[in-house]
Structure formats: structure tokens, C-alpha cells
Amino acid sequence: MSNPHDGGGTVIRFTRVRKEYARTGVALDDISLAIGKGEFVFLTGPSGAGKSTILKLVFAEERPTAGEVKVASVSSAALRARDVARLRRKLGIVFQDFRLLEDRTVEANVGFALEVTGAPRASIAPRVSRLLTQVGLASKGSSLPRELSGGEQQRVAIARALVNDPLVLIADEPTGNLDERATRGVFELLRDINAAGTAVMMATHDLDLVKRSDCRTIEINHGRLVYDSGEGPSRGDGQ
Amino acid sequence: MTVALREAVNAFRRAPMLSALSVTTIAFSLFAFGLFGLVALNIRDALGRIEDRVEIRAFLADRTPVEAAAAALGDIQAFPEVASASLVTPAQALDRARQELGEFSDVFDAAILPASIDVKLKPGSRDPASVRTVAQRIRTYDFIEDVRFGEEWIEKLYQIRNVATLAGTVLGLTFAIVAVIIIGSTIRMAVLARSREIAIMRVVGATDGFIRRPFLIEGAIKGALGGVAALLLTWATNEVIVRYVFAAAFFNLRLSLLGILAGALIGLVGSAFSVGRHLKHV
């Protein structure tokens, strides 16, 4: 397969990646792909196709059985366990189930991700405030996650994912638990983030959402890459 | 560090019941260990008091010149094993016998009690071998007629002491291992209860060290609190024994602080082990 992102503009590259699990067998086979800086890419395919495995390989929760995964110039072959945390600080990760700390306020949930990196205390509050404004939750800072709607909770998760100015935002079915209106809102937010220069890699089942947009689409089936629309026209333009 | 400390303190606030359960479990595990320690301490004290009575008595021949006895006394006092030595005249020996065996006082006569050099030994030199060595050295003076030190009694005392030390070590280690296992399990529960939080911390790029630190502090605080509670329980038990059963010694300040420190250390090590295991498997 030809690669549209040779050179310094690539933030994620899979080269002939194979992933096998001891119990369930082959999850991915011979996957090669590249995602450029500022690109918006949908990852689609049926349940169990291997979408989440691809995302897990990106944020190094899993290691490839064969082949190489390169994220932000860090190769899976050279990645040591103690480097994983540093790599993740270059990424923003959003999940379907939000993964917020239920006993902490919205501000604390977002600020927590900054504390983890050892950010100076004085810098945390203004940055959190700015991010909450960016995701449209400026007035919800002192709320607990359970006091928010699903869409709002996902916005908090997105704000948390953005605290470290990531190169790529990885979103695993971020709209899977949301109604149509909230889905639209979260997707628009992701497009805005992408327009500001952050690459977005979003796994989704929502084919309507994929069809409505003009973003690059990569389809996975039975662990193999079966379709790649190539570099989309939406790269960084916010359309 | 301030984040870690704040997170550790907040863990108590967020899960007060689980924290109280952890501290209580640690307290009772350490209480059992503390009671054992109290028994061991009192046995050691009792044996120590008996050991204090270990003494060598070297009887002088009749008409031993006073100068020779005094010279020998000086030599003996300089022996490294000797704590003190004193010359007992026949008259003093008679007085002592009358005091110690009051009901038979009328049968004593100064003529039948010889002068002696009474030797007390330093702690650590009261075992049968050391006592025998000192006794043999004293026997080399030709005016010494007889040397007595209750050889059989000392042998028995040291047998009891050795058995008590061995039993104490085995029981103490067993109690300590049981305490560590129980405390480790308790802390593991606390870690599992926060596995979601740990997973989230990892996702946002927390290092294992950052994740581990609050748990270590929390474990040490729980261990120290458990140690204080165990100390109070042991003290209360000791007070009841002293009031209603018999006089018993309690831990001094150094041992008490050491107990609390041991609690904190067990909490810290238990946490390190539990979190380390958890981090390896997630």
C-alpha cells in the first residue's frame, strides 16, 4: 500500500503490524498505515474487527507481535516500559465510557491530568479554565461527573485529553454512549480541535457520522485493513 | 510529593469505611504481635532477674593472709567477665546466713563458716561456659579451698533461656508473617477498590512512581495508625493484667515507638507489594 505520509509529517505509522493474543488468536494482521500531522481519520469496522486493538497499540497499552508501531517518532521496538507514560503525554485519549473520576469535580478531573505531568500548581487552574471554556463547560467546573449529561461528561474527557497539547487525540467510540444531538456536539468539538492542528484518530461504529463528513476513513475487518480512503481534504481545515 | 500526600489523605476521606477497616485489621494483627511481644519481654525480664543471681563464691583456706586475699581480690576484679568482687569475712558470712536462713539462726557458729570472695559477673558472661572459665581461673590460687557456682542450676537456667529464645523467635516470626499477610491483603483490597482510578492515571500519562507514591504514604499512615491502636490495646490489656493478675512489665518508650514504626513499615511494604503487583498486571 502506498503511504501518503513519508517524511516528518507523520505522527502515527504502522508497518506490517501483527497482533496476536494468547487466548483469542490473531487480532490484527499485516496492518500498514500512516496518519499525518493535523489529519482527521475515522477508524471503522464491525465489533471485534480490531479497531480498539489499533488504538491500544497507538497508546502502547499493547505491543505488536510483529511489525512496528511508530508514534510521535517513538518506535514500539525501542519503547521501554518507563517511556510509556511520557509517550502518553503526547497523546490525548478519550473512551466511550468517559473514564472520569466520579468523586472529583470537573475541574479536578481535568487538572489531575496536569498534576500527573508535574505541571506547576499555579499554571493548572488557568489552563483548566481555558480548556473548559473551549469544550463549552466553563460554568460546570465545580460539578461532579454524575451531575452532567453524557455529552457533557464526554466533553470533560476531551478537555482532559487536551491538557498536554497532544499531537494526536485518540478517541475510541467517543459517541457510542451518546444520543444524536450530543454525538453531533462532540463530533463538532473534535473537528474544532482538529482544525486547531491536532490530529484525531476516531474509532466509530456510526457510519452515518462517517458518511456525513469528508474525513479520511480506514476500515478494518477481521483484523485486516480492507479500505483506506486516503488523505482526506479536511486535514486541518475544520470543514 | 505534595500531590502524593494530598491524594493519600484524600483516600481516607473518599473511602472512610474501607480505611477504618484497614486500620482496624492492621491494629488487631499488630495487637496479637504486641501481646506476644509483651509475653516475650516479661519472660526475658524474669530470666534476666534470675541471671542477676548468678554468682561465684570462692572459699578461702583457714588462716589465709589478708594481704594475699586482698591481692587476689584485686586480680579477680580486673577479670573482663567480672562485674564486681568482694571479700566476705567469716563474721559477715555468719550475718548473711542468719539473715537468709533466719529460722536456723541458732545453729550457726562463726567457726563453721569460712571467708570467701564473692564474684558477680557482667551480663553476657553469665552463661555456663563463661562461669566455668572464671571459676577455674579463681581455683588456681593455692589458698582457694573450694569454688561454688551452682553449675547444674546455671545449666538449667540457660537451657530454659535457649528454649525461650528459640520459641520466641519462631513464634515472633510467625506472628510477624501472619500480620504482614493480613495487612498486605487489606491493602490489596484498597488498591483493587481504586483500580479504575489507577487505570485513568495511566491513561493520562502518570508514571508508575507517581501512581505508587500516594498508596505508599496511605499504607504507611494506616500502618502507623494501626500501630498506635495496637499499642493502646496492648497497654490496656497489660493494665488489666497488672491490676488483677500479677505485676508485668510494659514496653519502654523506645520499644513503643519502634512498634509504631514497624506498623508504618509493614503498611509501606504491604502497599509497595500490592501496588507493584497490581501495576504489573494492568
Q: How many CB atoms lie within 10 A of CB A221?
A: 14
Q: Do A116 and B205 make contact, defined as CB atoms within 8 angstroms?
A: yes
Question: Residue with C-alpha cell 514497624?
Answer: B262
Give A27's Cβ-side CA count (13 Å radius): 21
CB of B183 within 8 A of CB of B266?
A: yes
Instruction: Output the 3-class SS for B238-270.
Output: HHHHHHHCCCCCCCCHHHHHHHHHHHHHHHHHH
Q: Does A83 touch chain B (CB under 8 A)?
A: no
pLDDT in tens, B62-85: 888 888 888 988 999 999 999 999
Q: What's the pLDDT at A28?
A: 96
Mutation target among A90, A116, A144 for the B interface, most CBs of B within 10 A: A116
Q: What's the pLDDT at A239?
A: 36
Q: Coil, helix or strand for B87?
A: strand
**Chain Cα centroid distance, residue A132:** 18
**Is residue B12 packed enough to be buried (19+ CB in 10 Å), middle (13-18) or exposed (0-12)?**
middle
Give CA–CA dist B182/B162, Å, rounded: 30
Q: How much is the mean pLDDT over chain B?
A: 86
Q: Does B12 touch chain A (CB under 8 A)?
A: no
The interface pTM score, or ipTM, of the predicted complex is 0.82
Amino acid at A56: K
**Chain Cα centroid distance, residue B234:** 15
Q: Do A88 and B208 make contact, defined as CB atoms within 8 angstroms?
A: no
In B101-207, alpha helices (H): 128-139, 151-193, 195-203
CB of A26 within 8 A of CB of A194?
A: no
Q: Architecture of domain A10-228 in CATH?
A: 3-Layer(aba) Sandwich (3.40)
CB of B22 within 8 A of CB of B190?
A: yes
Give CA–CA dist B232/B238, Å, rounded: 10
Mutation target among B14, B203, B212 for the A interface, most CBs of A within 10 A: B203
Task: Give chain B positions within 8 Å (CB) of A95.
Answer: 203
Q: What's the pLDDT at A8?
A: 58
The percent of residues in chain B predicted with pLDDT above 70, rounded, is: 96
pLDDT in tens, B205-254: 999 998 899 889 998 999 999 999 999 999 999 999 999 988 888 999 99
Q: Does A59 touch chain B (CB under 8 A)?
A: yes
**Is residue B68 packed enough to be buried (19+ CB in 10 Å), middle (13-18) or exposed (0-12)?**
middle
Residue of chain A minimizing CA distance to B204: A113
Q: What's the pLDDT at A238?
A: 37
Which residue in the set A85, A99, A100 is minimally distant from B205, CB to CB? Answer: A85
Q: Distance from A117 to chain B by nearest Cα, in Å?
A: 7
Q: Do B206 and A85 make contact, defined as CB atoms within 8 angstroms?
A: yes
Q: Do A113 and B205 make contact, defined as CB atoms within 8 angstroms?
A: yes
Q: Do B196 and A112 make contact, defined as CB atoms within 8 angstroms?
A: no
- Sheet strands side by side (includes A74-75): A25-36, A10-21, A66-71, A74-75
CB of A203 within 8 A of CB of A172?
A: yes
CB of A35 within 8 A of CB of A10?
A: yes
**Is residue B244 packed enough to be buried (19+ CB in 10 Å), middle (13-18) or exposed (0-12)?**
exposed
Question: Residue A145 to residues A99, A107, A160: CA-CA distances in angstroms?
Answer: 10, 10, 13
Q: Do A117 and B205 make contact, defined as CB atoms within 8 angstroms?
A: yes
Residue of chain A minimizing CA distance to B280: A81
Q: What are phi and psi of B131, to 5 degrees?
A: -60, -45
Q: Do B14 and A103 make contact, defined as CB atoms within 8 angstroms?
A: yes
Q: Does A89 touch chain B (CB under 8 A)?
A: yes
Q: Do B210 and A116 make contact, defined as CB atoms within 8 angstroms?
A: yes
Residue of chain A minimizing CA distance to B206: A116
Q: What's the pLDDT at A6?
A: 45
Q: What's the pLDDT at A234?
A: 43
Q: Coil, helix or strand for A144?
A: coil
Mutation target among A110, A112, A160 for the B interface, most CBs of B within 10 A: A112
Q: Do A85 and B14 make contact, defined as CB atoms within 8 angstroms?
A: no
Q: Does A85 touch chain B (CB under 8 A)?
A: yes
Task: Give chain B positions within 8 Å (CB) of A117.
Answer: 205
Residue of chain A minimizing CA distance to B194: A101
Which residue in the set A59, A88, A101 is minimally distant from B197, CB to CB? Answer: A101
Give CA–CA dist B262/B224, Å, rounded: 8
- pLDDT score of B46 more than 90: no
Give CA–CA dist A155/A160, Å, rounded: 9
List the grid coordinates of B160: 530454659
Q: Of the CATH numbers 2.60.40.650, 3.30.70.890, 3.40.50.1360, 3.30.70.3040, which one belongs to the domain with range B55-148?
A: 3.30.70.3040
Give CA–CA dist A47/B172, Å, rounded: 57
Q: What's the pLDDT at A193?
A: 94
Q: What's the pLDDT at B22?
A: 85
Q: Do A99 and B200 make contact, defined as CB atoms within 8 angstroms?
A: yes
Q: What's the pLDDT at A142?
A: 95
Domain map of chain A by residue range? 10-228
Residue of chain B minimizing CA distance to A62: B282
Provide the sign of the torsion angle of the four alpha carbons A84, A90, A96, A98, taken in this order: positive
Q: Does B208 touch chain A (CB under 8 A)?
A: yes
Note down pLDDT in tens along chain A; length 239 residues.
334 444 458 999 999 999 999 999 999 999 999 999 999 999 999 998 999 999 999 999 999 999 999 999 899 999 998 899 999 999 999 999 999 999 899 999 999 889 888 888 889 999 999 999 999 999 999 999 999 999 999 999 999 999 989 999 999 999 988 988 899 999 999 999 999 999 999 999 888 899 988 899 999 999 999 999 985 444 444 33
Give CA–CA dist B97/B103, Å, rounded: 10
Domain map of chain B by residue range? 2-49+158-281, 55-148
